[in-house]
Amino acid sequence: MTPTELLPAPPPHAAARRALLAGSAGNLVEWYEFGVYGCFATVIAANFFTPHPGTPGGGAEALVATYASFALAFFFRPVGALLFGRIGDRFGRRPALVLVIGLMTLATTLIGLLPTRADIGAAAPWLLTFLRVLQGLSAGGEFGGAVSLMVEYAPPGRRGLYGAWQSFTVALGLLAGAGTAAALAAVLPAEALYAWGWRIPFLLALPLGTVALWLRTALEEPPGAPPGGPPGRPAAADPTEAVDATDTTGPTGPTGPAGPGEQARAVVLGIGRIMGWSAAGYAFLVVLPSHLQSALGASFRDALLATALVNLGFAASILPAGLLSDRVGRRPVMLGGALGIAVLAHPLLHLLQSPGASPQTRAAAVLTAGVLVGLLAGPGPAMLAEMFPRRVRCTGLGLSYALANAVFSGCAGLFITALTARTADTAIPAHYAAGACALSAVALLTLRGNDHREPLR
C-alpha cells in the first residue's frame, strides 16, 4: 500500500461547506460578543467601576479599571487555548467548539443581566471581571478549534482560503459589535443607553450563540479523525508525524513522534512567524485612532474615518491573501506583508502627520496599512495549522496564536501610549509595527515553499 493510499479521502464539498459555515458563524458570534465590551467601555465604567458618580477623576479611574478588566480577559486567552485545545485534540473538534461557543454565549448573556454597582455595591465589578475571564477563556479556545476544523475539512488546494475565513469573521464580528453599539447610540437618548440600553447587545448573544451552537452540534468530526481507541491517539502510528519546529529542508520534518520539546519549539516558532501580524494588527487597527487624536491632534471624526478605512482595507484583503497563498505558497504572501509593513510603516505614518497631505492621500495610506496586515492574517491560520500534526493541532496553533496576541497585541496599547508620552516621538506606532514585522520576516523565512501542497499530518 502506497503512502497516498493511506491518506484519508478528501471530504465531500457539501460537508466542507457545512464545516466552514459552522466554524465561521461561531467565530463571528464569538468576536461580536468579545468586541461589544470594548465598544461600551465608558458605559460599563459608569455602571460598574465608579464608586461615587460625579466625583472628580472618578470617571478616568473607572475607565482604567474597565480596560484593565478587558486586558485581563486578553491574558486568559492562552489558558483557554491550552484547556480547550487539549479537549479538541483528545476528544474531537466538535466538543471543543461546542463548549467554547456555549461558554462565551453564557458569559456574555449574564453580563447583560448583571446588577450594577448601584444595585449590589462592590460585588458588581468583581462579578463582571469573572465573566470577562470566562469570555477570555472562550476566545482563547476558539482559534485552535475553528482553524483546525476549517483547514482539516478544506478541499485540496484550499486550506489557505478556508483558514482565512477565521481572520475574516474576526473582522466581521468586531465590526458587527461596533455597528450595534453605534446604532443603539444613535436611536437611544444617553440616559436610556446608560440605564438599560447597553444591555441589549449583550443579551443578543443568546439568540446569536444559539444558532452557532446548533450549527456546531450538527457537525461531524473532520476526515482523518481516529475511528476508535483511546482518546487522542491516532488510528495508526505514523513514523513521520512530527512538529515542524526547525527542519526547513525535508518534506516531513524530523522522524519520530512529536515530543514535548519539539512541540514547544514549534509554538515558539509559530509565535515568531505571527508576531508581526499581532503587533501591526493591533497598532494599526486598534491603537491608531486614539494615537491620531492624542499625539497628532486629529479630530474624533477623522479618527473614526481612519479606523473605518484601515479596517476596510484589512477585511478586503484577507480572503484574497488566503487564496493567493494556496497558489504561490504561504511564505511569499506573508513575507510580502511583513516586509511591506517593515518598509512602509514610517512613510505611511509620515503621510498621516503631514499637514500638506490631501484627504485622498491619507485615506490611501490607512487603506494600505490595512491591506498589508491582511496579507499576514489571510494565510496565517493555515500556516499555523500546517506546523502541527493532528493530535496536537488544536493546542499547538491555538497556543501560538494566543501567546503572540497576549504579548504583542495585549501590551501594544500600553507600550505605544507610554513611550509616546515619555519620548514625545509620534512615530512610536511605526517603530513598534516595523520592528515586530522585521523580526517576524526572519521567522517566516523558515517556511518551506511547498508546505501548502503537502497533506496535513
**pLDDT (tens digit per residue) in 370-401:** 999 999 999 999 999 999 998 899 999 999 99
- The Cα–Cα gap between 190 and 211 comes to 31
Last residue of a domain, one of 194, 217, 240: 217
How many other CB atoms are there within 10 angstroms of residue 6's CB atom?
Answer: 10
70 and 140, same domain (yes or no): yes
197 and 341, same domain (yes or no): no
Given a cut of 60, whether residue 173 has pLDDT beyond it is yes
Q: Whole-number mean pLDDT of the chain?
A: 80
Average pLDDT over residues 226-245: 41
Confidence of residue 249 (pLDDT cuts 50, 70, 90): very low
Of 228 and 225, the structure prediction assigns the larger pLDDT to 225
69 and 179, same domain (yes or no): yes
Q: What is the pLDDT of residues 27-59, one digit of tens each?
A: 888 778 766 776 676 677 778 877 654 444 444
210 and 312, same domain (yes or no): no
202 and 288, same domain (yes or no): no
- Evaluate whether residue 50 is within a structural domain: yes
171 and 35, same domain (yes or no): yes
Q: What is the pLDDT of residues 111-166, one digit of tens each?
A: 999 998 888 888 888 888 889 889 889 888 988 988 998 898 888 889 999 999 99
Q: What is the 3-state secondary structure (H, E, C) of the chain?
A: CCHHHHCCCCCCHHHHHHHHHHHHHHHHHHHHHHHHHHHCHHHHHHHHHCCCCCCCCHHHHHHHHHHHHHHHHHHCHHHHHHHHHHHHHHHCHHHHHHHHHHHHHHHHHHHHHCCCHHHHCCHHHHHHHHHHHHHHHHHHHHHHHHHHHHHHHCCCCCHHHHHHHHHHHHHHHHHHHHHHHHHHHHHCCHHHHHHHHCHHHHHCHHHHHHHHHHHHHCCCCCCCCCCCCCCCCCCCCCCCCCCCCCCCCCCCCCCCCCCHHHHHHHHHHHHHHHHHHHHHHHHHHHHHHHHHHHCCCCCHHHHHHHHHHHHHHHHHHHHHHHHHHHHHCHHHHHHHHHHHHHHHHHHHHHHHHCCCCCHHHHHHHHHHHHHHHHHHHCCHHHHHHCCCCHHHHHHHHHHHHHHHHHHHCCCHHHHHHHHHHHHCCCCHHHHHHHHHHHHHHHHHCCCCCCHHHCCCC
- Evaluate whether residue 290 is within a structural domain: yes
170 and 310, same domain (yes or no): no
Query: What is the domain count for the chain?
Result: 2
158 and 289, same domain (yes or no): no
- Evaluate whether residue 49 is within a structural domain: yes
- Could you tell me how far CA 353 lies from the centroid of its own chain? 29
155 and 268, same domain (yes or no): no
Given a cut of 50, whether residue 368 has pLDDT beyond it is yes
Last residue of a domain, one of 185, 202, 217: 217
How confident is the model at residue 27, as a pLDDT?
82
- Evaluate whether residue 62 is within a structural domain: yes
- Evaluate whether residue 235 is within a structural domain: no
Q: Are 94 and 216 in contact (CB under 8 A)?
A: yes
Report CA-CA distances (Å) from 114 to 38, 43, 47, 111, 235: 17, 14, 10, 5, 47
Task: Residue 396: name the closest of 406, 407, 408, 384 by CA.
Answer: 384
- Evaluate whether residue 71 is within a structural domain: yes
Could you tell me the CATH number of the domain that includes residue 381?
1.20.1250.20
How many other CB atoms are there within 10 angstroms of residue 8's CB atom?
Answer: 13
How confident is the model at residue 383, as a pLDDT?
94
How confident is the model at residue 234, as a pLDDT?
42
- Evaluate whether residue 237 is within a structural domain: no
Q: In terms of residue numbers, what domain contains 312?
A: 261-453
Q: What is the pLDDT of residues 192-209, one digit of tens each?
A: 888 898 899 899 989 988
68 and 195, same domain (yes or no): yes
378 and 305, same domain (yes or no): yes
178 and 56, same domain (yes or no): yes
Last residue of a domain, one of 186, 217, 248: 217
Specify the pTM: 0.80
- Evaluate whether residue 228 is within a structural domain: no
